């Protein structure tokens, strides 16, 4: 049981949001959830014992904390600022935490809107995938005021293993872009390495044993080398979502002047995977565009 029982609203009970909200119930908080597909919210409430609301505003009314984990910028704007959005219903002093991966622009906009309403706001995209959400071991990159982060940290501790306050509004989202840029490059290199080993008629299991303890090791190698070699790609974070995230990074790079030649190239490689029907496969399916 948590030391302070809070009234919490969670908007978005999908693959990530559902388990995260569940951890908050287990931590002893009172939860009300909203999902635009009402049956999903009702199913969550039946499983975890919380309540389901019909609108974001209904969910957010009287809440101490409102969290969101939705799809994209437009979805986030709708559930916060749109008709029946959460912001207009939130009481002054309440905390808003957004776990969606979106543009830094909307994160900064919501911070300004929140401040005008007397709310605290934190952009807090996550890394760790579906397994991290289910196991409560997510890594969270946070942007916003020190006050907002201090208020959010004990709440997020229910489902996170690491929480880092990066800087002001939007800093969490730009850090998530850094994360996805790094992953894209690693997965392309890993894809080429797997196919090279196969073309050389090497035992890929023995190759993994030989190189996974050295400088070539990465999370992707340790968790995806074997499945990539077997053409197994049902492990969570989808190509469609990776393309969305890389698109955000490339858009931000046009604003800040950064040069992202590898990320841009890998984004196009992922477009090839989508065109071949692999949009819902996980990101390690990048290897499928390379012939065996």
Q: Are strands 65-68 and 95-98 parallel, antiparallel or unpaired?
A: parallel
Q: 116 near 128, Cβ under 8 Å?
A: no
38, 54, 87, 171 from 178: Cα distances, Å: 34, 36, 29, 11
Q: pTM (2 decimals)?
A: 0.93
What percentage of the chain exceeds 70 in pLDDT?
A: 99
Is 224 in a helix, a strand, or coil? helix
Per-residue pLDDT at 1: 36
Q: What is the pLDDT of residues 145-161, one digit of tens each?
A: 999 999 999 999 999 99
- Write down all domains in the chain, each with its CATH number in brackets: 7-168 (3.40.50.720), 174-289 (1.10.1040.10)
Per-residue pLDDT at 3: 64
30, 225, 257, 258, 286 from 281: Cα distances, Å: 35, 15, 32, 29, 9
Per-residue pLDDT at 236: 77
The DSSP secondary structure of 141-181, one letter per residue, reads: EEEE-HHHHHHHHHHHTTTEEEEEEEESTTHHHHHHHHHHH
26, 76, 181 from 31: Cα distances, Å: 10, 20, 35
pLDDT (tens, 9 = 90+) of the chain, 292 residues, equals 346 899 999 999 999 999 999 999 999 999 999 999 999 999 999 999 999 999 999 999 999 999 999 999 999 999 999 999 999 999 999 999 999 999 999 999 999 999 999 999 999 999 998 899 999 999 999 999 999 999 999 999 999 999 999 999 999 999 999 999 999 999 999 999 999 999 999 999 999 999 999 999 999 999 999 999 999 999 878 999 999 999 999 999 999 999 999 999 999 999 999 999 999 999 999 999 999 8
Q: What is the pLDDT of residues 212-264, one digit of tens each?
A: 999 999 999 999 999 999 999 998 789 999 999 999 999 999 999 999 999 99
Q: Which of 95, 148, 149 has its CA nearest to residue 119?
A: 95
Q: Which residues are catalytic?
A: 176
Question: Mean pLDDT over all residues of the chain?
Answer: 96
Per-residue pLDDT at 2: 44
Q: How far apart are CA 264 and CA 288, in angstroms?
A: 18
Q: Are strands 120-123 and 95-98 parallel, antiparallel or unpaired?
A: parallel
Longest dimension (CA), the chain: 65
Q: How far apart are CA 195 and CA 199, in angstroms?
A: 6
């Amino acid at each position: 049981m948590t030391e302070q029982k809070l009234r919490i609203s969670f908007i978005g009970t999908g693959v990530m949001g559902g388990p995260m909200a569940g951890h908050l119930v287990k931590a002893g908080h009172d939860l009300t959830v909203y999902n635009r597909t009402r049956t999903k919210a009702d199913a969550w409430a039946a499983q975890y014992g919380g309540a389901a609301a019909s609108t974001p505003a209904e969910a957010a009314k009287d809440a101490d904390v409102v969290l969101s984990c939705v799809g994209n910028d437009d979805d986030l704007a709708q559930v916060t600022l749109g008709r029946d959005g959460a912001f207009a219903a939130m009481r002054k002093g309440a905390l808003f935490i957004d776990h969606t991966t979106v543009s830094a622009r909307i994160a900064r906009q919501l911070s300004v809107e929140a401040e005008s309403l007397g709310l605290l706001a934190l952009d807090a995209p996550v890394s760790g995938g579906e397994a991290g959400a289910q196991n409560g071991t997510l890594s969270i990159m946070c942007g916003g005021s020190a006050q907002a982060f201090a208020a959010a940290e004990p709440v997020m501790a229910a489902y996170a293993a690491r929480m880092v306050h990066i800087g002001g509004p939007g800093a969490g989202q730009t850090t998530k872009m850094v994360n996805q840029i790094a992953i894209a490059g690693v997965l392309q290199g890993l894809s080429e390495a797997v196919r090279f080993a196969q073309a050389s008629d090497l035992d890929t299991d023995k190759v993994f044993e030989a190189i996974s303890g050295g400088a070539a090791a990465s999370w992707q190698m340790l968790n995806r080398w074997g499945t990539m070699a077997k053409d197994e790609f049902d492990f969570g974070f989808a190509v469609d979502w990776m393309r969305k995230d890389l698109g955000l990074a490339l858009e931000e790079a046009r604003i800040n002047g950064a040069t992202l030649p590898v990320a841009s190239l890998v984004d196009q490689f992922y477009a090839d995977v989508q065109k071949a029907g692999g949009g819902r496969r996980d990101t390690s399916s990048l290897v499928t565009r390379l012939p065996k």
